[in-house]
A = this chain, B = another copy of it.
Amino acid sequence: MNSQLRKQKILAQLAAAGEVDTKMLAQEFNTSEITIRRDLHQLADDGMLCRTHGGAIKITPLEMPHNFSNKAAVNQVAKDNICRKAAAQIKEGDIIFMDCGSTVFRMCQFIKNKRIKVITNSIPVLYELQNSQVSLNIIGGEFDSERQAIHGKMAEEHIRSYHATKAFIGVDGISSHGLFAHSEKEAAIALALATQSDYTYLLCDAGKIGKASYMKFADVDLVNAIITNADKEELKFCKKKGVKIISTE
């Protein structure tokens, strides 16, 4: 069986069952698990499925969950260090954009006592900050209940009515080729937020570096700084483009 046909069959099974299992596929196609993993990896890069530990799941019609990657591990301490560093960039009176990613959400615990204004498309962020010193604005538009976030043309338009001193965004991958996302919706929001702010920070753990997903949405220099736990060496390509590296190490 050739690899193209095998991938077609994987997608057909996925469409039917909603999920596929690496081990079971290997048995069924009489091939090795590593071969199946490669297939799944390629299909995920092409945006055809969502990779999970041990297999893959179907992309939901509205949105793609975050792909699993074996090197994606970030313990909470490292992630929190990134967020603490991010919070330290904020001073009283700032107006900041926050996108709907999980890392950005974790910033909330560190900014509750700052007298700032937060503009966000994330309902969890809204909820987390509502009884704090922070003044809140929500971006209007289409509500996505899976992500508990607001997206869409209306949202992008609304963002254009705002201007922030700083924006905090996350991406699904970053390489010398640029910034990558799985979701066009989130990419569009991140782009709009960066465009409408004076200074944009990318919160990016080590696991996301060197990863190219199916959708490049911007060049690395869309952002002004990257806050990361990664080795600076890994981000040399960003420095070359004038992007500042803020390391937690």
Indicate whether A36 reaches chain B with its CB closer than 8 angstroms. Answer: no
Point out the residues of chain B lying under 8 angstroms from A231, CB to CB: none
B-contact 0/1 string along A136-152, CB 8 Å cutoff: 11111111011010101
Task: Flag the segment in A86-94, A119-127, A177-185 that touches B.
Answer: A119-127
Point out the residues of chain B lying under 8 angstroms from A57, CB to CB: 2, 4-5, 8
CB distance from A219 to the nearest CB of B (A): 28
Count chain A residues whose beta carbon lies closer than 8 angstroms to a beta carbon of B. Answer: 56
CB within 8 Å for A143 and B138 given contacts A2-B52, A19-B2, A54-B2: yes
Point out the residues of chain B lying under 8 angstroms from A168, CB to CB: none
Q: Which residues does A use to contact B, with CB under 8 Å?
A: 2-5, 8, 11, 15, 19, 21, 45-48, 50, 52-55, 57, 59, 62, 65, 68, 76, 102, 105-106, 122-128, 130-131, 135-143, 145-146, 148, 150, 152, 154-155, 157-158, 161-162
Give CA–CA (A141, B57) in the complex, Å.
Answer: 26
> Are A141 and B141 in contact (CB-based, < 8 A)?
no
Please name 15 pairs of A and B residues whose Cβ atoms are closer than 8 Å in the assembled complex, sorted by A: A45-B76, A46-B105, A47-B122, A47-B124, A59-B124, A59-B127, A130-B145, A131-B145, A135-B142, A136-B142, A137-B141, A139-B140, A140-B150, A154-B158, A154-B162
- The one of B106, B137, B145 in contact with A142, judged by C-beta atoms closer than 8 angstroms, is B137
Nearest CB to that of A124 among chain B residues?
B47
Point out the residues of chain B lying under 8 angstroms from A124, CB to CB: 46-48, 59
Give CA–CA (A30, B172) in the complex, Å.
Answer: 32
Point out the residues of chain B lying under 8 angstroms from A154, CB to CB: 137, 158, 161-162
Main secondary structure of the interface of A (DSSP, over half): mixed
> Are B143 and A137 in contact (CB-based, < 8 A)?
yes
Q: A45-B106, A126-B143 given; name 19 further pairs at CB < 8 Å.
A: A3-B53, A4-B52, A4-B57, A4-B68, A5-B52, A45-B102, A47-B122, A47-B148, A48-B148, A59-B127, A62-B130, A123-B126, A136-B145, A140-B158, A154-B158, A154-B161, A154-B162, A157-B161, A158-B161
